[in-house]
Structure 1
Amino acid sequence: MANHKSAEKRNRQSQIRRLRNRINKTKMKNAIRKVNEAVEAGSAEEAKVALQAAIPVIAKTASKGTIHRRNGSRKISRLSKRVNKLEATA
């Protein structure tokens, strides 16, 4: 439990940031899941549309500091690679 006024404020700020980070991370995971489901279903067009929607969500999550920027780049790269591979085979 916080004893000082500044520690109480820090606790409030941390809780708000935690909730914001959790919301952003959940949005990102849902966007990634949609791409993966489309790839597993074998639908190249749906996967491409889902990827175009997922890239800005992942980039925003990384730019806000919820995930590391290299982690965001890696996720985008791997998803793009999967979608491109699916398009090549289709």
Structure 2
Amino acid sequence: MANHKSSLKRIRNSETKRLRNRYQSRTTRNAMKKLREADKKEAETLFPSVVSMIDKLAKNNIIHDNKASNLKSQLAKHVNAL
């Protein structure tokens, strides 16, 4: 167990951030799943919000920038193919 006040605080902070990151990434994954199952019209309205969520994950270093680009590309191809 940690002994220093700063390390105890770091443990608390990192747990809070871990839970927040987990919530945001899970919400984004659910939105992507919903977009893939949607019909053409609904998918086109969902697409900008899902892309925005992916960009926020990349900006906060929850996912890598290249992964964000790949996800956006795959979703765009899917929406265009509908």
What TM-score do you get using the length of structure 1 for normalisation? 0.84
In structure 2, what is the equivalent of residue 18 of structure 1?
18
CA RMSD in angstroms comes to: 1.0
- Look up the SS of the partner of 2:70 in the other structure: helix
Taking the aligned partners of 1:22 and 1:84, their CA distance within structure 2 comes to 29
CA distance in 2, matches of 1:81, 1:67: 21
**TM-score (normalizing by structure 2):** 0.91
What count of residue pairs does the alignment treat as equivalent?
82
* C-alpha deviation, 1:65, in angstroms: 0.9
Counterparts of 1:1-90 in structure 2, within 5 Å, are: 1-38=1-38, 43-86=39-82
Unmatched 5+ residue regions in structure 1? none
Runs of 4+ in 1 over 2 A off after TM superposition: none
Unaligned runs of 5+ in 2: none
Q: Aligned with 1:3: secondary structure?
A: coil
